[in-house]
Copies of this chain bind each other. A is one copy, B any other.
Amino acid sequence: MKITAVIMAGGRGERFWPKSRTNLPKQFLSLTADKETMIQKTVSRLLPMVDLADIFVVTNAQYASLVEEQLPGLPKENIILEPCGRNTAPCISLAAAVIGKKYAGEAMMLVLPSDHLIRYEDMYIDTLRKAVSVAEEGSRLVTIGITPTYPETGYGYIKFERSAGGESGVYQVERFVEKPDLETAKEYLASEKYLWNSGMFVWKTSTILWNLEKYMPQVYAGTRAIAAHFGTEKFDAALSECYAELPSDSIDFGVMEKAQEIYTIPGSFGWDDVGNWLAVERINETNELGNYVEGDVIAIGTERSTICGKNRLIAAVGVEDLIVVDTDDALLICAKSNTQDVKKVIETLKERNRTALL
């Protein structure tokens, strides 16, 4: 069976302001020293398993030229442009319908975020191959779980159960749960029965479409009607006419929390969702003082800090546990303990109509 990949690249990535902007969200940024952008990394790590011609990117229409620039080898028709964001269910449903049409009714789909980082790419491919082999059988939905290392409250969790006689390393999913509070997250961790929901899914087009028809009939019908025009001149018009009408729901809420026959494979490939500026020191090499520094920086008595310079010298003196990000028109100086408050800067900019800085 043809293996295809759907890369979901519609995110806004506000947590990487001021580097990320409305017109340049996180997936199109480089946050590592090698200068490859997040979406470029996402595509290249897939190539041992999926041909570039079989990779689809679903993103907002305003990012069309970014995708074309950053992924020049991608067939243009594989870039599916949403006129507006409608969460993951319509995005995945449309992609499944399009792929079903393009590959004559059936293909394997890897559904992947565009802005995560994977440290062990061989293991990642091995895990995806295993997921494919599980998804090939019957009508199974497979999700890649991540073994938690601490009680994170920002992710959804997957409760799994060991099925007697099942294949080694594959677990049945008992249920999907929403982001827990800290107390609950600690219990999850202690129970050894929960994995983080990474948002990576593997299934056949027929399986996900059957589930969508059952659990999200409106999304299913709407995206099927749009996909009917795929490959024709009418596709864009159908998209912009109908897509906004679809309910905005996540695939987790709309399908995964209701469906049967869900399996999870725990990935141990060094996953990082690169959720905010704190991630930069995790995914890059820091120096002996724990600093990650790029650009023209003089650091004196400075420890455990991330300093991303651009065109000007940054002198950091006696600075500890700080994140500094310089751009041409805006500078962020943020305590590591307060990265979640970067969104308050964005709220303030919105309130003041300072759109040039958003």
Contact = CB atoms under 8 A, between A and B. Distances in A.
A301 interface: yes
Contacts of A17: 315
A18 interface: yes
Nearest to A318: B338
A332 to B, nearest CB: 5
Contact of A334 (B317, B342, B345, B348): B317
Interface of A: 17-18, 298, 300-301, 312-320, 322, 324, 326, 328-335, 337-339, 341-342, 344-345, 348-349, 354, 357
A19 to B, nearest CB: 12
B333 A324 contact: yes
Contacts of A324: 333
Given A301-B338, A312-B328, A341-B300, A333 B348 contact: no
Closest 3 CB pairs of A and B: A318-B338, A318-B335, A317-B334
A317 B325 CA distance: 12
A137 to B, nearest CB: 49
A267 to B, nearest CB: 32
B312 A331 contact: yes
A333 B319 contact: yes
